[in-house]
Structure 1
């Protein structure tokens, strides 16, 4: 079921107008940060693709357990980047996320920024709600979306929850759930190099070889552009695991299935590099 969902959504984006998407519209830009600091080049890119400093920018602080997260990001956008119209959404409960007033506000946004914390909180609140649907529809119609840390992890389906045994490459070992699904065909991971998270992403790619694994380091972002290319922004690395053409293998033992494979493509991208997933090529922009 998950494979069919991802492929149908991908084809809807690439070939036909999807749900809520009119002919001539295009999905918005995605600027997804791996956590840590937020270099100006990343934030300025998001503000630019959101429509500039006069655009309405909404903050989704739902992943954070800190009550002042929304106010913190309002200050960042207003004081550091001179943005004029910034608001934090109150989305602590599913009742909040079924507000028609908030859904209408989302529809007017130029950009939506998801804060970090625990990505499970985002889906617990937004999944199958009016505001969750409004965010997807806004992005499909051109609204730019950014996220950091958990706000990045939640953008793919499957979504890493943070649970599992990351010391081995075994089947059924990494806990996932459905995410927002705005990056079809991809599994996203964050804090990637800084926290040595290669094993968990590689395990999921070996189990789901139709999906490309994208591990984003701290102070680094991938700009997913509407033309289908990805560009690295910031200060660190992005690692890509691509097993779409690999020869995969499993060996069973008493603890389950060991995962392996040959001819797996791996790319380590630096700031300024671009990647074209449809033809699996990298270059400097």
Structure 2
């Protein structure tokens, strides 16, 4: 369990240890990696090499990219994720949002219809051609994910509701888990879009965004061919 994104890492780590214990997962350890110097420590690197799964907590996703980008831990995670069947990388909230190559790091839902209100940068890139957003329905984040997809139409936007997750296997097969809903926004068929031609803080206009409302179903798996 990596608590780097959180400003209260000790408390968050203890909460997750309790949660995993209730699931009978007892071989769980917490790594309070606070800066890039920590991310280069041999002990942490070795633990990443030996772990069966790594999970990133919530908090601020920019802490994750700024701390781990280009480090040995990051390279180890990338290598293991791409080459070792059964190795799992997971994230919640900010930890989930950092999983993709294109990452939302700022954007007020109330202003998400205005050009420039949604800020996007490069994430940890475990997944390509997707953009994740969390607390999606509770915090009304449809507009900001739609703008992120409109400016990056190669990407599939994935909005995760509360108590809901997405299990991704083989790089592009996705299965919904949990009790809530997942919203998928597909920009591949966008027609008219004014976002390249208007000034910042002007309302955007986009046609033909495809939206899927998706929940856990028996034997249901969604596959993105271009990812």
TM-score (normalised: structure 2): 0.88
TM alignment of 1:219-234, pairs within 5 A:
219-226=163-170, 228-234=172-178
Q: What is residue 183 of structure 1 aligned with on the other side?
A: 127
Q: What is residue 69 of structure 1 aligned with on the other side?
A: 12
Q: What is residue 223 of structure 2 aligned with on the other side?
A: 276
Name the SS for the 1:151 alignment partner: helix
Question: Does structure 2 conserve the Cα–Cα contact (< 8 Å) formed by 1:250 and 1:258?
Answer: no
Q: Please, which moves more after superposition, 134-143 or 158-167?
A: 158-167
Q: Give structure 2 stretches of 5+ with no counterpart.
A: none
Q: What is residue 261 of structure 1 aligned with on the other side?
A: 206
The Cα of 1:76 is off from its aligned counterpart by 2.0
TM alignment of 1:60-139, pairs within 5 A:
60-66=2-8, 67-77=10-20, 79-139=21-81
The Cα of 1:168 is off from its aligned counterpart by 4.2
TM-score (normalised: structure 1): 0.71
Q: Please, which moves more after superposition, 202-211 or 81-90?
A: 81-90
2:64 and 2:199 mapped to 1: Cα distance? 36
**Match status 1:199 vs 2:143:** yes
Structure 2 CA distance for partners of 1:136 and 1:96, relative to 1, 3 Å: same
The Cα of 1:169 is off from its aligned counterpart by 2.7
1:114 and 1:162 mapped to 2: Cα distance? 19
Higher relative contact order (CA 8 A, sep 6+): 1
The Cα of 1:103 is off from its aligned counterpart by 1.3
Number of equivalences:
221
Name the SS for the 2:78 alignment partner: helix
1:162 and 1:249 mapped to 2: Cα distance? 22
Structure 2 CA distance for partners of 1:65 and 1:227, relative to 1, 3 Å: closer
The Cα of 1:122 is off from its aligned counterpart by 1.4
Q: Please, which moves more after superposition, 248-257 or 153-162?
A: 248-257
Q: Which has the higher strand share?
A: 1
**Match status 1:241 vs 2:185:** yes
Structure 2 CA distance for partners of 1:62 and 1:244, relative to 1, 3 Å: same
